[in-house]
Amino acid sequence: PGALPGPDLLLCLILAWVVRRPEFLPMPMILLVMLAEDLILMRPPGLWTAIVILATEFLRSRVALTRELNFVVEWMLVAGVMLGMVLAYRLALAVAFVPQPAFGFAIVQYLWSIALYPLVVALSRAVLDLRKPAMGEVDDFGRRL
């Protein structure tokens, strides 16, 4: 328990998996996990969940583009998506006049999350063999990935 917030590792993990293998994380699974996190962390139920769903579906719709990106560009894409998520969340809370932590805390958590995203990707690759599908790779049924 330090004075500064830590990174959102669950969000980093979800975004890393959606960018690399979107078929492994269907939207209902993300919905249930994020809604449970909202309830556990006593956030407004469903708000952060909806923002995460929108962000993951945005990334999922660009899977053909992200397959060809090098890691630095992918990292910047994820950083931009995370920044949009943080700002949308803060804006929604402000419009509803819900008390929220200082903006500096949100930015520190965002920066920590962006800084640890490469580590999450590296651990997912090393431990779970999570990688982007190669061009022309097919699944067990012969469908292109």
Q: What are the sequence ranges of the domains in the chain? A: 9-128
Residue 41 three-state SS: coil
- Per-residue pLDDT tens over the stretch 28-70: 999 999 999 999 999 999 999 999 999 999 999 998 888 888 9
Token pair recorded at residue 32 = 């249930």
* Mean pLDDT value of segment 8-17: 97
* Mean pLDDT value of segment 64-89: 93
Measured CA to CA, the distance from residue 144 to residue 115 in angstroms comes to 33
Is the per-residue pLDDT at 145 higher than 70? no
* Mean pLDDT value of segment 58-87: 93
What is the reported pLDDT for 110? 97
Say if residue 141 is exposed, middle or buried (CB neighbours under 10 Å; 0-12, 13-18, 19+). Answer: exposed
- Per-residue pLDDT tens over the stretch 102-143: 899 999 999 999 999 999 999 999 999 888 877 776 666 666
